[in-house]
Structure 1
Amino acid sequence: MLVTGGTGFVGRQIVKSLLARGHAVRMTARPGRVNPSDLVGRIEIVPTLDLFDENEDWWLSRLEGVDAVIHAAWYVEPGLYLDSAENIRCLRGSLRLADAVCRAGVQRFIGVGTCFEYRLPNAAITETSPLGPVTVYAAAKLALYLAARRRFAAAGVDFAWARLFYLYGEGEHPARLFPSLHRRLGAGEQMILSAGDKIRDFLDVEIAGADVAGLIDTGQTGVVNVCSGEPVTLRDAAERIADLYGARHLLSFGAAQVHPRDPQAVAGVCNVAER
């Protein structure tokens, strides 16, 4: 298996699950980004300064002997990625990878997309729900899905597209909601939040990584919603964490500003074949 983005928040969990399933893994990584002690197993590192700058011939040589590709790499700098032009560069680089996959005779390709490809708000998103991205990030992901689907169909490559919902857990950026709640409530500090009425679908990143890796073994194709299938309000989610510290009194709802593009509801219907 060749994995891109294997040192990232989701990619690390994908690699761990692949290794646990007994697969041999070849992984692209920037020099110095991989700690051999925390990704132990049959990993062959393919060094690259920037995989989105690599040409098709570079990919061809790295795809030799590869049965399947899981493409989890993308630009996701917190606070910047949603409307960054870097998304277009990631799209271009990903399309070169797709062309190389077809030329190399790779049997299977799994891409990682986002729930924000769908038209929102929607509290019961299925894999056939209407699409309607409103950010450059989501639009670029959807463009890759649409182009790759046609390209791989013509070349006879099995294709799955894993749309991730709201993930939390190991390796999560400290500024995100759940780590902030744990940090502040654990320290006895007040947490200022929005009204808490928005609906979300949260899933542990370890489960999400296992779901994506599992697509190799199940052979599932098409769009796959990687989500919990359990819609909850942000208030409910925050109160569950607060209860771990006996600190509901430290939650201050309604004071935080909400981004105007933040949808009222984002929750999915899980169609992972095997969990």
Structure 2
Amino acid sequence: MKVLVTGATGFVGRHLVAALLERGHSVRAVARNVQSARQLPWFDDVEFVAADVHAEHLDLAGLTAGVDVLVHLAWPGLPNYQALFHFEHNLFADYRFIKRAVEAGVTQVLVTGTCFEYGMQSGPLSETATPQPSNPYGLAKNTLRVFLETLRQQLPFNLQWARLFYLYGEGQNPNSLLASLDRAIDAGAERFDMSAGEQLRDYLPIEAAAEYLARLLELRDFSGVVNCASGRPIAVRTLVEQRLRERGASIALNLGHYGYPSHEPMAFWGVTQRLQQLLGAEHGV
């Protein structure tokens, strides 16, 4: 297949492009900064287009020519989940971009959503749970999904909505938990400031998430919402201690230095039954 990937140089994008190439697909990678793209190992193996997909005069016909699937990852403004920018700008700009792509002939679209669409609901979260977003980012993402599902009633296309939970690995936000921990270890710090670490989260390596997304888009007839998660809750403190063992590091954890975030429940994780059914438990989902 020929896959158009927006946000190709982002955390998820750089790994997804690699996974798609590994699986034998042709990739047209789109990002705003060509210099960032040149630093990635797959640059010479893709058709790279330097463009802002929100630009008013974007050549959609040229960008989507010959494309089988659009994977839309681009979403400026993260990791500030509270910014009004998410629904004042991104929501409508993304809707217009995807609608124009479908009008140009794209018949399958995969968009990454977020676990924040579930809001403050606790425990195991399945795709059948009613979304209750409680921050602007989650609200914007969920509203985009509703817009696109409504669009499908007039312009039929396959819409695959993959809700991402907590991803980690190469290229992650440098201020994220494990990136901050690695930096403290590398610097020889004596202690690491963190919350009490009792909250339960769903963490998935970025390589696994990229593989799941690549395989989902190969299901040409599937439309719907699917959790992209491990399905296994883990306490944040346990995750940190696990990383310390992996690194062979001894660093004192300053537990309780930070309070718990107000925009997240204490315990939630993704139910992955649908993901397993779609991709097959025999493949290690």
State the TM-score, normalizing by the size of structure 1: 0.91
**Structure 1 residues 125-204: aligned runs within 5 Å:** 125-186=125-186, 187-204=188-205
Stretch of structure 1 that moved more, 142-151 or 87-96: 87-96
Contact map agreement 1:158 1:221 (CA 8 A) in 2: yes
Stretch of structure 1 that moved more, 184-193 or 156-165: 184-193
Contact map agreement 2:195 2:257 (CA 8 A) in 1: yes
Distance in 1 (CA, whole Å) between partners of 2:13 and 2:224 is 20
Distance in 1 (CA, whole Å) between partners of 2:77 and 2:207 is 19
**Structure 1 residues 222-237: aligned runs within 5 Å:** 222-237=224-239
Pick closer, same or farther for the CA change 1:129–1:183 going to 2, 3 Å: same
Deviation of residue 245 (structure 1)? 4.6
Q: What SS does the corresponding residue of 1:232 show, helix, strand or coil? A: strand
**Structure 1 residues 63-102: aligned runs within 5 Å:** 63-78=64-79, 80-102=80-102
Distance in 2 (CA, whole Å) between partners of 1:226 and 1:153 is 25
Q: Which residue of 2 aligns with 1:116?
A: 116
Q: CA RMSD in A?
A: 2.0
Pick closer, same or farther for the CA change 1:150–1:41 going to 2, 3 Å: farther
Distance in 2 (CA, whole Å) between partners of 1:13 and 1:200 is 22
Distance in 1 (CA, whole Å) between partners of 2:158 and 2:211 is 19
Deviation of residue 263 (structure 1)? 1.9
State the TM-score, normalizing by the size of structure 2: 0.88
Pick closer, same or farther for the CA change 1:116–1:77 going to 2, 3 Å: closer
Distance in 2 (CA, whole Å) between partners of 1:108 and 1:85 is 27
Q: What SS does the corresponding residue of 2:197 show, helix, strand or coil? A: coil
Q: Which residue of 2 aligns with 1:218?
A: 219
Distance in 1 (CA, whole Å) between partners of 2:146 and 2:17 is 26
Distance in 2 (CA, whole Å) between partners of 1:90 and 1:264 is 28
Deviation of residue 128 (structure 1)? 0.8
AA aligned to 2:18 is K
Percent of residue pairs identical: 35
Pick closer, same or farther for the CA change 1:252–1:159 going to 2, 3 Å: same
Contact map agreement 2:86 2:140 (CA 8 A) in 1: no
Distance in 2 (CA, whole Å) between partners of 1:182 and 1:37 is 22
Pick closer, same or farther for the CA change 1:110–1:254 going to 2, 3 Å: same
**Aligned pairs, how many?**
272
Q: Which residue of 2 aligns with 1:15?
A: 17
Pick closer, same or farther for the CA change 1:211–1:88 going to 2, 3 Å: farther
AA aligned to 1:254 is G
Deviation of residue 262 (structure 1)? 3.1
Distance in 2 (CA, whole Å) between partners of 1:37 and 1:196 is 34
Stretch of structure 1 that moved more, 22-31 or 10-19: 22-31
Deviation of residue 222 (structure 1)? 0.4
Distance in 2 (CA, whole Å) between partners of 1:132 and 1:248 is 40
Q: Which residue of 2 aligns with 1:39?
A: 42
Distance in 2 (CA, whole Å) between partners of 1:18 and 1:249 is 38
Deviation of residue 242 (structure 1)? 2.1
Deviation of residue 15 (structure 1)? 0.8
Contact map agreement 1:67 1:108 (CA 8 A) in 2: yes
Deviation of residue 143 (structure 1)? 0.9
Deviation of residue 130 (structure 1)? 2.0
Pick closer, same or farther for the CA change 1:205–1:147 going to 2, 3 Å: same
6, 28, 31: which is aligned to 2:30? 28
**What do the CA deviations read for 1:20-73 (whole angstroms, capped 9, x no partner)?**
11111112122433116611454112221x321235x72233212111100000
**What do the CA deviations read for 1:114-133 (whole angstroms, capped 9, x no partner)?**
00001323220111112111
Distance in 2 (CA, whole Å) between partners of 1:240 and 1:204 is 14
Deviation of residue 18 (structure 1)? 1.0
Deviation of residue 248 (structure 1)? 5.9
Pick closer, same or farther for the CA change 1:96–1:249 going to 2, 3 Å: closer
**What do the CA deviations read for 1:229-254 (whole angstroms, capped 9, x no partner)?**
00011111111112235556611212
Contact map agreement 2:86 2:136 (CA 8 A) in 1: no
Deviation of residue 176 (structure 1)? 1.0
